[in-house]
Copies of this chain bind each other. A is one copy, B any other.
Amino acid sequence: MSLWNDMNLAGKRALILHHDDLGMFQAMNGAYAALGFPTGSIMLPTGWAAEAARTTLPHADLGVHLTLTSEWDNLRYRPLTGGASLVDGSGHFWKSVEEAWAHMDAGEVAVELRAQIEAGKALDYDVTHIDTHMGSAMRPDIAQVYIRLAIEYRIAAFVPELEGKAFAPDDAKVAEELARVIAGCGLPQFRVIDAYSQPPHARRAWLVDTLSKAGPGVYHCLHHAALDTPELRAIRDWPVRAADYAGLQDADVRRVLGEFVPLTYRDVRAGLQRYGFPG
């Protein structure tokens, strides 16, 4: 990628450690504060988004975790705008990406994604980037909207390389279409490291192994660390989040993380601002 060359990252191993789902519930924010890593993104349709935005971390690097799905039975989120295609019968976002992709009107999505970015700005934090909750913005027509919004707002965007399985749609034709959108978008792409579907009990070993073996490239390593509290335990995937929190405090994991050039989305945004946004 040309930006990575411009930023003198060619041939290096660089990594953004990215805290997903800030604001989803309070224990996510608690983990962000306790861990102290700068980068993550906030879900604006949630009540605790306001707390996440009020972080006192001096080098906070926070984006908008663009949200189009509401995946739990007991904790749910509603769109900020009135698009009827965005919601199920209960008035919340669709539970699965499949349902969301089957129903969502791209025009209504565009209005909603813009509203979420504006809501981030209205919470008075420096929105450095956008990324996508559960990959729901990677429907090819929505990915185009997503990329256009990053360029318009002059912020960075998480854009995945599709070589691995992460973020690649199951349907081969859709995956091909998305690959075309990404190849032509002009924004830099990230290799993805995502422990989510790995067994929680082996989190530490998987992270050490995966990070150690990662070759040169610019990585977006996402995690979902949460404090282990009664609130977290009410969420179905709590073992994943508790394992991420414990794993990221592990000395060996910290050591292998330390072998990467630490990167933030603020850096990427600065690179884009210096070397030029596409379009």
- Chain A residues close to B by CB (< 8 Å): 25-27, 29-30, 46-51, 54, 72-78, 80, 82, 89-92, 119, 122-124, 227, 229-231, 234
Contacts and interface: CB of A to CB of B under 8 A. Distances in A.
A119 B76 CA distance: 12
A43 B47 CA distance: 12
Contacts of A82: 82
Nearest to A25: B26
Contact of A50 (B51, B73, B124, B227): B73
A56 to B, nearest CB: 12
Given A26-B25, A90-B122, A123-B90, A51 B234 contact: yes
8 contacts: A26-B26, A48-B74, A48-B75, A51-B75, A54-B74, A90-B119, A90-B122, A230-B231
A187 B90 CA distance: 30
A78 B50 CA distance: 11
A76 B54 contact: no
Contacts of A77: 47
Given A231-B231, A234-B26, A76 B50 contact: yes
A51 B50 CA distance: 21
Nearest to A90: B122
B50 A47 contact: no
A78 B75 CA distance: 16
Contacts of A51: 73-75, 234
A185 to B, nearest CB: 29
A26 B72 CA distance: 14
A78 B90 CA distance: 16
Contact of A54 (B48, B73, B122): B73
Contacts of A91: 80, 119, 122
A47 B75 contact: yes
A119 to B, nearest CB: 6
Given A82-B82, A89-B122, A47 B26 contact: no
A227 B229 CA distance: 11
Contacts of A229: 229-231
A50 B74 contact: yes
B122 A26 contact: no
A179 to B, nearest CB: 34
A123 to B, nearest CB: 6
Given A47-B77, A50-B75, A54-B73, 19 more contacts: A25-B231, A26-B230, A26-B231, A30-B234, A47-B76, A48-B74, A50-B74, A50-B90, A50-B92, A51-B74, A78-B78, A78-B80, A90-B119, A90-B123, A90-B124, A227-B230, A229-B229, A229-B231, A230-B231
